[in-house]
Chain A
Amino acid sequence: MIAYIIRRLLHTILVVFAISLIIFFSVRLTGDPVSVMFQAGEPTKEAIAEVRKNLGLDEPLYVQYGIFLKGLITFDFGESFRSGMPVIDLIKEKLGATLALAFGGMAVAIMIAFPVGILSAVKRGTGVDFFGRIFSLIGISFPNFWLGIMLILIFAVNLKWLPSSGFESFKHLILPSITLGMILSGILARLVRSSMLEVMNQQYISTAKSKGISDFAVIIKHAFRNALLPTVTFLGLQFGALLGGTVIVEQIFSWPGIGRLIIDAINQRDYPVIQGGVIFLAVIMVAVNLVIDLSYTLIDPRIKIGGSRS
């Protein structure tokens, strides 16, 4: 058990290290940030050299990477080329909005997928099941940013019920959360349906039924609770995908989160912010996966801890 935890931790460190390498070097593949910063006027050579020195860009790459790696451990991602603010402060400022959006998306997915998936499984083969399956198939078949635009068109522009941009109140959270959660709800409904079906075939369900317990109690107490475990694991693993999805959703709703910060930084070639933002999101995802993996083995001791990955 402890050996497993240690191996898993080492693996996580390896992953973070690989991610840092990829991000650091790909960001530096082309383009000199200084030349982009001076787009407007004709800078003198001395001015360029001065800026490069101030930003630490005159150091050899491996020194820059060393500084970057050291910063990663201490959560110090340097300062923005543009505003001069520490990157970690910029991230902290936007973290709340991004997390609110990610949790909102997950809540929407759960609220839609659980009823749809359970009903589909219980009423297997009927019209309800058919519509449930069509729903989940359509749910994974359109780009979420398009759903966002359509929601804005309907609820913000035409009906004027909900705001279309910014994050000032709970009302602002509704449309972005639906946009983010919809695709996940399609995948999740499928999973809930199939794990419910698997559980419903078990003998203890027939036993429970034969005891004369109401259908509803059997479904919720006996079947659903057992079907929950794979679903929860899946949700944890999908949290990362949700965080990735916020990058796009934040663009549509002018959401003041990390995703927007990254895209704005890309447009301005603000390397420390791109690097810091992306690696921050990536590390959160990897950390969530680690926690889920470890807690999964604690919750369910039947899971094989041996190395078999097949």
Chain B
Amino acid sequence: MTSIQLEQSPQPISQQKPSFLKKIWRFIKKNPAGVAGMILVLLSISAALFSQWIAPFDPSKASLTSRLAPPSWADETGESVFFLGADQVGRDLFSRIIYGAKISLMVGFFGVLISLVIGTILGLVAGYFGKWLDDFIMRVADIQLAFPFILFAIVIMSVLGTGIWKIIIILGLTYWVGFARLIRGEVISLKEQEYIHAAKAIGGTTFTIIRKHILPNVMSSILVLGTMYIAEFILLEASLTFLGLGVDPTIPSWGGMLADSRNYVTTAWWTATFPGIAIMLTVLGFNLLGDWLRDKFDPNMKL
């Protein structure tokens, strides 16, 4: 096969290295799902970071004349074009979706950051030191796992009231369990490796061993689980906000937009459709990316 191609190819491919573009093309062809995930994630991150410049309108500017305006590409007056339509008080849906990305990604990233830090520390401690510390941490984890998150969040948020940082903290304080269990398991098997024994034998302190020999080895698992949790946190935040127990309803957020749309869905399908598509594409992006990372690092990873 290759030899035939070589004969037919008019150019000698002697020392020519594949160009940068070719490398990228090859990468895309090899990992279509991973690349699709990356593109979706990059799109949502750019929407969140550059909302002011991307959004054509002020996301909270209401206008009576454009109440529930349907999606349109062109307007006779040429003044306002809502290409995804407008909501029940005449706010541009597209601009609100762009701004909504801020909320979803903030909850995803910071929620994961908190649960990751807590979970990693507790997982390392439980796995490395074992004994009663391990028993205690894992028992707390078991209890937390047995308690369904959505009920917990509903109770706490109904008491504390809405707010983005409240959700982030609640997610962080609940989902550390996933990281802790994963890392504990890996540390327990790593601990018995010969190079760890060797590091101990030459007088490495516990802190050095954990930092230099254990942590780098669990990084890939942390990255994979973190990516998948971002997807899950975005969904949970949207659900809570939809119930009126999430972020402040005056801030543009995808869950809030869907909650607003409930009373108008029969007359204005666009108000419910587009925010949902935004959630789906973003979450799909993180899930695709997480899947790809897992396959890349370790296809047998139990996630």
Complex contact A142–B283 (CB within 8 A) = yes
Complex contact B258–A309 (CB within 8 A) = no
Describe B's contact surface by its main secondary structure. Answer: helix
Complex contact B160–A30 (CB within 8 A) = yes
Q: Indicate if B27 sits at the interface (CB-CB under 8 A).
A: no
Q: Which of B159, B243, B266 contacts A27 (CB 8 A)?
A: B159
Interface residues on A, range: 35 or more
Complex contact A153–B269 (CB within 8 A) = yes
Complex contact A149–B231 (CB within 8 A) = no
Q: Which residue of A lies closest to B272 (CB)?
A: A149
Contacts of A286 in B (CB 8 A): 146
Complex contact B158–A266 (CB within 8 A) = yes
B133 CB, nearest partner CB in chain A, Å: 14
CB-based A-B contact count at 8 angstroms: 123
Describe A's contact surface by its main secondary structure. Answer: helix
Q: Indicate if B188 sits at the interface (CB-CB under 8 A).
A: yes
A264 CB, nearest partner CB in chain B, Å: 11
Interface residues of B in 128-173 (CB under 8 A from A): 138, 142-143, 146-152, 154-156, 158-160
Q: Indicate if A145 sits at the interface (CB-CB under 8 A).
A: yes
From known contacts A150-B272, A281-B151, infer whether A143 and B159 are also in contact, taking CB-CB under 8 Å.
no
B191 CB, nearest partner CB in chain A, Å: 11
Q: Which of A18, A19, A142, A281 contacts B276 (CB 8 A)?
A: A142
For the complex, give the distance between the alpha carbons of A251 and B243 in Å.
Answer: 8
Contacts of B258 in A (CB 8 A): 143, 145-146, 149
B159, B245, B291 pick with most chain A CB within 10 angstroms: B159
Complex contact B155–A26 (CB within 8 A) = yes
B226-238: CB near A (< 8 Å → 1, else 0) gives 0000010001001
Contacts of B138 in A (CB 8 A): 309
Complex contact A19–B280 (CB within 8 A) = no
Q: Which residue of A lies closest to B185 (CB)?
A: A310
Q: Indicate if A6 sits at the interface (CB-CB under 8 A).
A: no
For the complex, give the distance between the alpha carbons of A252 and B184 in Å.
Answer: 40
Contacts of A22 in B (CB 8 A): 147, 152, 155
Q: Which residue of B lies closest to A266 (CB)?
A: B158
Complex contact B143–A15 (CB within 8 A) = yes
Complex contact B243–A282 (CB within 8 A) = no
Q: Which of B151, B231, B275 contacts A244 (CB 8 A)?
A: B151
A–B Cβ pairs within 8 angstroms, 15 of them: A15-B142, A29-B159, A30-B160, A137-B287, A140-B287, A143-B279, A145-B242, A149-B276, A153-B269, A244-B148, A247-B150, A247-B154, A251-B242, A281-B151, A282-B148
- B interface residues, Cβ below 8 angstroms from A: 138, 142-143, 146-152, 154-156, 158-160, 184-185, 188-189, 231, 235, 238-239, 242-243, 245, 255, 258, 261-262, 265-266, 269, 272-273, 275-276, 279-280, 283-284, 287-288, 291
